[in-house]
Amino acid sequence: MLERSAIAENALQALHDEDYDRPFNLQNLNHETMIFMGGRDVISLDGEWNFCVDLLDTGLRQKWFAMDPADPCDRQEPWDYDPYMGETVPVPSCWQMLQEKWYFFEGSAWYTRAVDFTPKADKRFFLRVGAAQYDCKVFLNGQFIGNHYGGSTPFFAELTDQLQQGRNWLMLCVNNVRTTDRVPMRNTDWFNYGGVYREVSLIETPKTLIRDLFVRLNPDPLVNDIDVSIAAEGADYARFEIAELGIAVDIPLEGGKGTASIPAAPLLWSPDRPKLYDVVLTAGGDRVCDRIGFRRIERRGRELFLNGRPLWLRGISVHEDDAVLGKVVTEDDLRRRYADAKQLGCNYVRLAHYPHHERAVALADEIGLLLWTEIPVYWAIDFDNPATLRDAENQLLEMVKRDRNRASVVIWSVGNENPDTDQRLAFMRHLADTARANDPTRLIAAACLVNHHKLKIEDRLAAHLDIIGINEYYGWYDEDFSELPKILANSQPDRPVVVSETGADADISDKGPKAGLFSETYQAEVYRSQIATLKELDFVRGMSPWILYDFRTERRQGIYQRGFNRKGLIAADKATRKEAFAILASFYHAMAEREAKEWETL
């Protein structure tokens, strides 16, 4: 039970409000706390957690996290919450999808659960939260462990020294308030879900710990090496194996780090042949494994190449959104998503606008789809603010470290439609450089800006990218279609352009119009015109129209939108296809057939 003075302190806070959250505003759970997850056994902490929304942050002021799990009848003082009894919710979930009264709730919410535990002398224990939107404070047995910023990447907290024999109480305080200094900021075109919406687990490791493993083909086509980088604690060397390639190498570790370049000739991974190899790393008693594909993605001038062959990215954009589950994804949902993309004739998917579930990336490896993945540096975030940069950089590094063994990921994108200011240029250059420094085997992109007065792609960031993404909505926000060829002709970019977005809304419900804006036929017409224009331009090396499925967003409240962005090729039921689906499919399939014939004759 808390000391009486804490309650008195709490009463005083009503008079002096400013400092209650300062001790918790740390960004100390970040990419540095990550451990390599491949093949680890985990104890799932999913399931029912005690839950309470907390609009006024009373929990931090009144220190709910420090309360004993005593019977409320035995308490000496009045309290405003019983963390250990009462309402429960499932984890993972988004609170908006659970009760109507929580639909527009933005604030803190508390999750509490018991963890029964037996310490083991030679083991370490880590909490892993797959994702919580947006920041998440972790408490164990009343003690503040740390805070993670960023709603779409996993985070870890070592609990070895804090877990006690028997019953432990774990609390997560999740806050989804939109603020100007966050990434993203207050204004987006997707729903601001809240909660612990990806899996939570406890991981047991030996004292020797493999922190990181990065395995890739040397990006230089003349060097047939598999390059390996390792970070491990408590061992002098690590054993790296790919049995199918006859590789078994001991790699010395110095200062916890080791690298090796191993000559090898793996079958190359591609969407047509998504070959993966079993990779195992052992260091001391720790052992991790992964299934890894080897491929080369290159930009030469205005062209893209995959494994030395010219590449045109036949894509579609997709959000992580479900009419029933919100941001929670299931295996069925992901398989349906990629089956729809394949039926469309795609070889590529843009995972917009934040890192999606790691399973989305692993499944793309297995079934053969190239991915563009990105962080939510979206619109006018606070480019002047060093804390905002720290947050963006951390989200980038968490995404890169989580996914850089995935052959499917060929593009890291560092932002979407950001104004071309000096501060933004410095901010995003830094992100592009950081991505390259941590992974030289992928291309860097961003969705850039068009100067609508000069009719030209004009964005200083383009010089620092491998691919210029362009979001253009000719036929929708911009009516005059004839401007699109002019823009592309005026621009003469020296590197490939991927039309990262284009599209139009179509409401195909009974409430939707039969013709004109928001009709299915109008959307189909926009797709016809876009395809006719873009296919003529040699520096356009791909497209990912907006978007595969209709998705929920607060900012769309027109009579045909009703809380949804309806630019999907498929309605929010994820089943009903609109006319434009077949139009894009026939363009992509014809292109794929042409490509296959060209390759046969090579």
Query: Could you list the residues that contact ligand GCB (CB under 6 A)?
Result: 189, 353, 416-417, 471, 501, 546, 565, 567
Which stretches of 255-368 are DSSP H helices? 331-344, 358-367
Between 129 and 185, name the residue whose CB sits nearer to ligand GCB.
Answer: 185
Asked if 547 and 503 touch (Cβ cutoff 8 Å), the reply is yes
Q: Minimum distance from CB of 428 to ligand GCB (Å)?
A: 15
Q: Minimum distance from CB of 381 to ligand GCB (Å)?
A: 13
173 residue type, one letter = C
Residue listed under structure tokens 């037996």:
118
* 84-109 as b/e: b if 16+ CB within 10 A: beeeebebbbbbbbbeeebeebeebb
Q: Minimum distance from CB of 213 to ligand GCB (Å)?
A: 34
Between 45 and 428, name the residue whose CB sits nearer to ligand GCB.
Answer: 428
Residue 336 in tokens:
């349906």
Residue facing ligand GCB at closest CB distance: 189
Between 408 and 471, name the residue whose CB sits nearer to ligand GCB.
Answer: 471
State the pairing for strand pair 143-149/209-217.
unpaired
Give the integer Cα–Cα distance in Å for 60 and 20.
7
Taking every pair of Cα atoms in the chain, the longest distance, rounded to a whole number of angstroms, is 84
Between 189 and 365, name the residue whose CB sits nearer to ligand GCB.
Answer: 189
Between 267 and 380, name the residue whose CB sits nearer to ligand GCB.
Answer: 380
> Count of residues for the chain?
602
Beta strand ranges found along 461-518 (DSSP E): 467-471, 497-501
- Report DSSP state, residue 467: E
Between 353 and 357, name the residue whose CB sits nearer to ligand GCB.
Answer: 353
Q: Minimum distance from CB of 577 to ligand GCB (Å)?
A: 19
Between 242 and 465, name the residue whose CB sits nearer to ligand GCB.
Answer: 465
Asked if 94 and 53 touch (Cβ cutoff 8 Å), the reply is no
Q: Minimum distance from CB of 450 to ligand GCB (Å)?
A: 11
Q: Minimum distance from CB of 180 to ligand GCB (Å)?
A: 18
Please report, to the nearest 10 degrees, the dihedral formed by the alpha carbons of residues 62, 66, 69, 72 taken in order.
-20
**Residue whose C-alpha is closest to residue 36's, from 214, 292, 264:** 214
Q: Minimum distance from CB of 416 to ligand GCB (Å)?
A: 5
Between 398 and 417, name the residue whose CB sits nearer to ligand GCB.
Answer: 417
Q: Minimum distance from CB of 546 to ligand GCB (Å)?
A: 5
Give the integer Cα–Cα distance in Å for 504 and 522.
8
Give the integer Cα–Cα distance in Å for 583 and 107.
43
Q: Minimum distance from CB of 567 to ligand GCB (Å)?
A: 5
Q: Minimum distance from CB of 581 to ligand GCB (Å)?
A: 17
Between 347 and 471, name the residue whose CB sits nearer to ligand GCB.
Answer: 471
Residues near 76 by beta carbon (within 8 Å), at least 6 away in sequence = 1
Residue 87 in tokens:
């309402």
What 3-state DSSP class applies to 97?
A: helix
Between 218 and 413, name the residue whose CB sits nearer to ligand GCB.
Answer: 413
Task: Report cis status (omega within 30 of 0) of the bond before 197.
Answer: no
